[in-house]
């Protein structure tokens, strides 16, 4: 494996910057110089992940963000070389970038991390137990409740989305998009029907029957008059009066 050469002065810049108090103008200048000096390391680490579907510029930008975080958080008093601290920090940032980009539906970071932990635990327990682990096995291994494991498994469904053109059905004659429901315009009439039902109840029994025969039974005024036992003229007046009352009540609502 090839390594990236970083000038010895780069280590000195990091230590010099750490020795300058926060807020001192010299610290910002040293920070900029340190970032520039260590950029080859970020570039080298970003190059490891090229060819995996993400643009090289995005990978480099993400690695640079990780490098800046490492520079800002590094404490030379801990006795660790900066490279040993920076490399896992940069790689962690790049891996998070891939993890966030590969989820088809945005879910909380905790759910993403839980899904990864469950996957790792499943692989480990598969070898140690010699069988597929149960939810209880995974919960005990991760020191979680079974409810938390189930939550992680449910969240994993957002990891990849299926195309609407995916064939479905026993004979594969349908596409997934064909199974999605369309807009039901009847819903728009629901509220009107509920209001109309209340308005109709304000009419007397004969008026309700006449309107039902006219608009639901599709009978003529003459046929209604014969059924109800009144004149066709009287039916016409009752229909006109009932409709006027209904309009008034619906407008008031």
Report in angstroms the alpha-carbon separations of 76 from 4, 67, 68, 88, 210: 21, 16, 16, 16, 93
Q: Is 168 a domain residue?
A: no
Q: Angle formed by the axes of helices 8-19 and 25-47, to 10°?
A: 140
Q: Could you give the 3-state DSSP secondary structure of residue 168?
A: strand
- Residues 140 and 80 reside in one and the same domain: no
The range of the structural domain enclosing residue 236 comes to 187-252
- Residues 86 and 22 reside in one and the same domain: yes
Whether the Cβ atoms of residue 70 and residue 85 lie closer than 8 Å to each other: yes
pLDDT of residue 3: 45
Whether the Cβ atoms of residue 59 and residue 46 lie closer than 8 Å to each other: yes
Residue found under tokens 């409810």: 147
Taken in order 233, 237, 238, 239, is the CA torsion positive or negative?
positive
Number of domains in the chain: 3
pLDDT of residue 84: 84
- Residues 205 and 243 reside in one and the same domain: yes
pLDDT in tens, the chain (253 residues): 444 444 446 778 888 888 888 788 888 888 888 888 898 989 998 888 887 767 888 889 989 999 998 888 888 887 778 888 888 889 888 888 776 665 444 556 676 677 778 878 888 888 888 887 888 888 899 998 887 887 776 655 555 444 445 565 556 566 555 555 455 455 444 555 555 666 777 788 898 888 888 877 888 999 999 998 999 999 999 988 888 887 777 666 5
pLDDT of residue 171: 62
pLDDT of residue 166: 55
Distance CA 186, CA 193 (A): 10
pLDDT of residue 1: 41
The CATH number given to whatever domain includes residue 14 is: 1.20.120.1810
- Residues 87 and 129 reside in one and the same domain: no
Cβ neighbors of 13 (< 8 A, separation 6 or more) are 30, 33, 34, 37
Q: Angle formed by the axes of helices 221-228 and 232-252, to 10°?
A: 100
- Residues 19 and 88 reside in one and the same domain: yes
Largest CA distance in the chain: 110
Whether the Cβ atoms of residue 60 and residue 42 lie closer than 8 Å to each other: yes
pLDDT of residue 64: 92
């Amino acid at each position: 494996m090839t390594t990236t050469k970083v000038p010895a002065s780069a280590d000195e810049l990091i230590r010099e910057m750490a020795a300058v108090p926060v807020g001192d103008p010299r610290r910002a200048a040293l920070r900029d110089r340190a970032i520039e000096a260590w950029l080859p390391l970020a570039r080298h680490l970003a190059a490891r992940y090229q060819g995996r579907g993400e643009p090289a510029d995005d990978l480099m930008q993400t690695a640079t963000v990780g490098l800046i975080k490492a520079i800002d958080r590094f404490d030379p008093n801990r006795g660790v070389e900066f490279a040993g601290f920076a490399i896992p920090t940069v790689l962690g940032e790049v891996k998070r970038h891939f993890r966030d980009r590969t989820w088809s539906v945005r879910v909380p970071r905790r759910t993403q991390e839980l899904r990864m932990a469950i996957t790792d635990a499943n692989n480990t327990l598969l070898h140690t137990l010699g069988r597929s682990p149960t939810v209880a096995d995974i919960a005990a291994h991760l020191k979680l409740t079974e409810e938390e494991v189930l939550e992680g498994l449910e969240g994993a469904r957002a990891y990849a989305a299926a195309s609407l053109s995916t064939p479905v059905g026993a004979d594969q004659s349908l596409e997934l998009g064909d199974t999605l429901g369309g807009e039901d315009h009847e819903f728009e009439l629901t509220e009107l029907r509920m209001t109309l039902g209340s308005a109709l109840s304000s009419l007397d029994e004969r008026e309700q029957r006449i309107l039902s025969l006219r608009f639901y039974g599709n009978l003529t005024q003459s046929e209604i008059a014969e059924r109800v036992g009144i004149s066709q003229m009287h039916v016409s007046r009752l229909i006109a009066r009932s409709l006027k009352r209904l309009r008034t009540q619906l407008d008031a609502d």
